[in-house]
């Protein structure tokens, strides 16, 4: 099939089921060539530059390429194969070269720059002026003003970085896909039925008769929580943390070091002292100093709480007759036992109330109550049998297509994310969003209900918050649509939406037992909400440590020994020995699979400062579903995308910018 031919599927969906992997290479090659020719034509236009013949023309030139590239790279992450991995290795550098060539097109940049300098002479809307500014800034930051050898060197750097990022991702996927630990019946001690069932289902996927532990987070975390076999917990934990660090052809340590060196060189070519300075220049935080100040403001109470918790857990371990210090493979196990003791809360008791389908329905119902959205299943071809689609409407009018792909599988990279096959826009052509949430929840055995942990349910709400940002976008241009915002602002809608999961009325309605059909008892609901900040010292420390390592890597000189530098950073901040980084360097995909979160992993915390403050504004008003607050959230943040500066948007919503006080209260880390 020619993937560049018009797509005729309902709702403008990609033609799933009508193409094969063999169709991608010719379509990608042709789309790059066509886009290059169209962009050259924009640059060569002799008419005076206008918004329409420059910016809109550039969008039109790249749209066919963008459609087929989005389709390919989404599938490469959500449903990979050997063929798709080969294509990804081939085409990532080609797209990097294309981007570098366009950024280096002096005639094209001259037209953009001329339009910018004369913008007062054009009747531009505020959104058009911002799109123009962002376009010009993007060219400058991509090296449009570099000349000669410097320009050539930057192109080479960007192509190499694209190759390294792809290799990092594929190495990580390979390690996650290939490792598993078979469990004999005697190895199941302490595991509740839902973990055993998940392990058996994972074994079936591997073609085995018995249960296995894999490196899927939805399986390995409950194994570490419940298994009484300390030796097996240690083996599983070490395999989990060794992803990307096993040497050989999948050595991510060497990739990370080369990536840091190339990023530093890139920043220097563009006139910045460090890559962190370069990256943060366009974010809300603006500087590494402001990022570090926030992280340390949270780190100090978090590590104090974690150290106090470690003493308690070590005492529990000693009572069990285990000699030696508390280790990282012990923490989750004894924290779970402590949660059961302190809050009378057992995840095995809770999990049957958190059915996947009900949590999806809960996320939809909150969106209906807040924003007037309705969701109806649609029977359309999709890329995998596990994926499902819904039409999103408001007042009977089509808004978007939402696709959910929830179960872990070997062909899917780890983690959870939101992406879009198509972003909302009105110009140069009208297009409605087609949004995808990808998760890695444990797939149940045939005939069994899919059950989530509370952490899984939060992940579902988090990613759906991103999806709402995409679906409710109401702007003219895709360049500022939906999640096209500053990296340290993009997590605000997603993290804010997590709060609605813990609204008592939501759980009362949707937390229904998978076997009995009975709603969650009030006493269990009270215990769930009472334990909301349980073990928050651990959770905060493992995250902030990763963010501080990311920042230090990109702010200072490139280390000779990257793992020694990681250890040095952790020692300098007083990292507890019994807690590991959430993402150690060899599997830190946020930072090394691409530039997205490089020097930017802090952004979850930066956004949490806002999301805690934002939800407090609902509570201070009429409650979680206050209509006026919901309307303001819609009008000032969710519908605006990146059409205005993030600080302006938040101030319009809240009336001011927040400080970290609400975050510390939200995490239970504020001083009593």
List active site positions: 463
What's the half-sphere exposure (Cβ side, CA atoms, 13 Å) at 489? 27
Q: Name the nearest CA neighbour of 568 among 582, 548, 588.
A: 548
- Buried b / exposed e over 205-240, threshold 16 CB at 10 Å, is eeeeeebbbbbbbbbbbbbbbbbebeebbeebbebb
**Element housing 392 (H / E):** strand 388-394
The H-or-E segment that residue 213 falls in is strand 212-214
Would you put residue 207 in left (φ > 0), alpha (ψ -120 to 50) or beta?
Answer: left
Q: Angle at which helices 106-117 and 24-44 pack, to 10 degrees?
A: 50
Place of tokens 């410097």: 150
Report the alpha-carbon distance of residue 464 to residue 363 in Å, rounded.
Answer: 7
Looking only at the bridges linking them, the beta strands covering 434-441 and 374-377 are unpaired
Task: Please give the Cα distance from 313 to 144 (Å, whole number).
Answer: 56
d(CA 249, CA 268): 31
Is the omega angle on the peptide bond into residue 263 within 30 degrees of 0, that is, cis? no
The rounded Cα 600 to chain-centroid distance in angstroms is 12
Q: What is the C-alpha to C-alpha distance for residues 211 and 307, in angstroms, rounded to an integer?
A: 35
Question: Do residues 555 and 288 touch, judged by C-beta distance below 8 A?
Answer: yes
Structure-derived torsion over alpha carbons of residues 495, 497, 499, 500, reported in degrees to the nearest 10:
-170
Under 8 Å between Cβ of 305 and 313: no
215 vs 245: CA distance, rounded Å: 14
Decide if 53 contacts 22 (C-beta within 8 A): no
Hey, what are 278's tokens?
Answer: 């370069």
Q: How many CA atoms lie within 13 A of 385 on its CB side?
A: 2
> Who's near 383: CB < 8 A, 6+ residues apart?
14, 16, 75, 78, 79
Q: Tokens at residue 431, please? A: 């297009």
The single-letter DSSP state of residue 125 is -
SS3 assignment, position 633: helix
Instruction: Give how far Cα 401 sits from Cα of 196, 371, 389, 557, Å.
Output: 35, 16, 7, 46
The residue among 348, 281, 294, 330 whose CA lies nearest residue 577 is 330
- Cα–Cα distance, 577 to 587 (Å, whole number): 19
User: Hey, what are 533's tokens?
Assistant: 């900040």
């Amino acid at each position: 099939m020619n993937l560049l031919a018009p797509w005729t599927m309902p709702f403008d969906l990609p033609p799933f089921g009508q193409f094969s992997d063999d169709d991608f290479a010719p379509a990608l090659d042709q789309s790059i060539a066509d886009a290059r020719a169209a962009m050259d034509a924009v640059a060569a236009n002799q008419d005076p530059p206008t918004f329409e013949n420059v910016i809109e023309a550039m969008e039109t030139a790249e749209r066919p390429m963008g459609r087929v590239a989005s389709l390919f790279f989404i599938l490469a992450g959500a449903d990979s194969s050997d063929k798709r991995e080969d294509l990804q290795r081939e085409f990532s550098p080609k797209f990097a070269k294309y981007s570098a060539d366009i950024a280096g097109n002096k005639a094209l940049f001259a037209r953009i720059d001329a339009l910018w300098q004369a913008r007062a002479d054009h009747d531009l809307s505020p959104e058009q002026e911002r799109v123009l500014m962002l376009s010009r800034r993007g060219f400058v930051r991509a090296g449009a003003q570099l000349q000669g050898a410097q320009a050539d060197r930057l192109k080479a750097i960007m192509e190499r970085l694209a190759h390294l990022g792809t290799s990092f991702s594929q190495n990580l996927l390979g390690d996650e896909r290939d490792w598993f630990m078979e469990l004999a019946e005697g190895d199941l001690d302490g595991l509740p039925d839902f973990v055993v069932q998940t392990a058996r289902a994972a074994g079936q996927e591997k073609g085995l008769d018995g249960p296995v532990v894999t490196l899927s987070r939805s399986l390995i975390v409950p194994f570490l929580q419940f298994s009484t076999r300390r030796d097996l917990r240690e083996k599983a934990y070490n395999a989990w943390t060794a992803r990307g660090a096993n040497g050989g052809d999948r050595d991510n340590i060497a990739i990370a070091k080369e990536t840091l060196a190339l990023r530093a060189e890139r920043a220097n070519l563009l006139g910045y002292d460090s890559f962190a300075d370069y990256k943060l220049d366009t974010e809300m935080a603006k500087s590494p100093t402001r990022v570090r100040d926030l992280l340390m403001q949270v780190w100090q109470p978090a590590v104090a709480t974690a150290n106090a918790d470690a003493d308690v857990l070590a005492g529990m371990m000693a009572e069990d007759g285990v000699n030696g210090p508390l280790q990282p493979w012990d923490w989750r196990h004894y924290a779970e036992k402590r949660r059961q003791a302190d809050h009378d809360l057992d995840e095995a008791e809770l999990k049957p109330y958190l059915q996947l389908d009900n949590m999806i329905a809960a996320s939809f119902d909150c969106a209906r109550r807040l924003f007037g959205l309705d969701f109806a299943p649609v029977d359309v071809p999709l890329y995998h049998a596990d994926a499902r689609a819904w039409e999103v409407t408001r007042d009977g009018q089509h808004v978007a297509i939402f696709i959910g792909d929830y179960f872990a599988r070997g062909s899917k990279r780890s983690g959870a994310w939101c992406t879009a096959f198509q972003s909302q826009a009105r110009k140069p052509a009208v297009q409605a969003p087609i949004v995808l949430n990808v998760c890695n929840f444990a797939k149940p055995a045939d005939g069994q209900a899919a059950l989530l942990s509370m952490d899984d349910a939060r992940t579902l709400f988090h990613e759906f918050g991103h999806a709402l940002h995409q679906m409710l976008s109401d702007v003219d241009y895709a360049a500022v649509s939906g999640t096209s915002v500053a990296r340290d602002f993009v997590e605000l809608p997603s993290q804010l939406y997590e709060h609605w999961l813990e609204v008592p009325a939501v759980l009362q309605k949707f937390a229904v037992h998978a076997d009995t059909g009975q709603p969650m008892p009030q006493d269990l609901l009270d215990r769930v909400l009472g334990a909301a900040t349980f073990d928050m010292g651990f959770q905060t420390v493992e995250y902030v440590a990763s963010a501080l390592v990311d920042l230090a890597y990109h702010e200072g000189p490139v280390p000779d020994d990257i793992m020694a530098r990681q250890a040095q950073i952790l020692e300098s901040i007083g990292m507890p020995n019994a807690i590991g980084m959430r993402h150690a360097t060899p599997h830190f995909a946020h930072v090394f699979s691409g530039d997205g979160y490089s020097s930017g992993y802090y952004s979850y915390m930066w956004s949490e400062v806002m999301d805690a403050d934002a939800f407090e504004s609902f509570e201070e008003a009429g409650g979680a579903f206050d209509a006026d607050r919901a309307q303001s959230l819609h009008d000032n943040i969710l519908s605006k995308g990146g059409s205005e500066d993030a600080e302006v948007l938040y101030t319009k919503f809240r009336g001011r910018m927040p400080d970290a006080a609400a975050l510390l209260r939200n995490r239970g880390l504020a001083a009593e």
